[in-house]
Amino acid sequence: MASGSSERALARAWDSDIAYSFRSSPLTMAAAAFTALYLLGAMLAPWIAPQDPFDLKQLDLLNAFLPPVWEVEGKAGFLLGADDQGRDVLSTILYGSRVSLLVGFASVVLAMLLGIGLGLISGYAGGAVDAFIMRVADVQLSFPAILIALLIDGVTRGLISAQRHEELAVFVLVISIGLSFWVQYARTVRGLVLVEKNKEYVLAARVIGLPPALIMLRHVLPNVLGPVLVIATINLGVAIITEATLSFLGVGVPSTQPSLGTLIRIGNDYLFSGEWWITIFPGAALALLVLAVNLLGDWLRDALNPKLH
């Protein structure tokens, strides 16, 4: 198939381009290495963490507030100290990162799927459908993510029982954050679709009678994935931060299964009392993670921006 081979050629060119700009930026490589390491650490947490902080049987309150191991009162097995419940800080970071990354990735994927789908439909269908979707997007865009998340969280808290809500907290967060981010994708995809749909290859596909859904998925979608990926990378950082912020506002995961944001919020109370490690280590972990993800996003944006070549 002609279109298939041209696609493959395109992909090859893309790859080499990206590979080149990747190789030429040590910062990007460092960010990528860090992100990979971080993901690995979070995934392997049950095997590498000294303690399972979610398993209450392993906790001893008498270990609470142990300083990092290099300080005088530090204790072996608590490399980065212990928090107010006697949880090993390193372990809570590893486990907490799982929660944060899960919320981050899942909400970005949700926003992406929703945004791409609606964007494709909006751009391709045009007319009343387009107008409706875009007006909904306007409404949505006029509300900052944090308020939307607060609203959704409030509504779900009302709809499901409180105990169930604790179990479902992660999903609620994913939906709250995901729903507040879809507009960017939808608008971007729609704009690109408007450009692409009048291009000859799409017209040709239409002429030979391919159904619109197929055209969109097979021909238009691959061409809009680049910019979408850029937004997604940047959004991943924002989503993780949003989760942390929501936790500060009291809308988050239960404190017995803390995310990085919850850890920082808890540790915040101990900044003045000298137990800096409870908040500084999770804070640094969060900052480095988001920084690395953002650097990758920056690089991706520049590398994929045709106007810069």
**Footprint of other proteins on 114-173 (CB under 8 A):** 134-135, 138-139, 141-147, 151, 154-155, 157-159, 162-163, 166
Distance CA 241, CA 231 (A): 15
Query: What's the rounded Cα separation, in Å, for the pair 290 and 235?
Result: 10
Candidate residues 168, 188, 226, 300; the one interacting with other proteins per rule CB under 8 A? 188
Residues between 60 and 89 with contacts to other proteins, criterion CB under 8 A: 60-62, 64-65, 84-86
Helices (H), ranges, 160-217: 162-196, 200-207, 212-215
CB-based burial, 176-196: b 16+ in 10 Å, e otherwise: bbbbbbbbbbbbbbbebbeeb
Q: Min. distance of Cβ 172 from other proteins in angstroms?
A: 12
Q: Which of 93, 121, 283, 303 binds other proteins (CB under 8 A)?
A: 283
The torsion angles phi and psi of 229, rounded to 5 degrees, stand at -60, -40
Binding mask 87-106 for other proteins (x = CB under 8 A): --------------------
191 binds other proteins (CB under 8 A): yes
Task: Check binding of 287 to other proteins (CB under 8 A).
Answer: yes
| Both tokens assigned to 192 | 């690109």
What residues between 210 and 239 interact with other proteins by CB under 8 A?
227, 230-231, 234, 237-238
C-alpha–C-alpha distance, residues 12 and 27, integer Å: 24
Q: Is 6 a residue that touches other proteins (CB under 8 A)?
A: no
According to CB under 8 A, which one of 92, 176, 184, 262 is a site residue for other proteins? 184
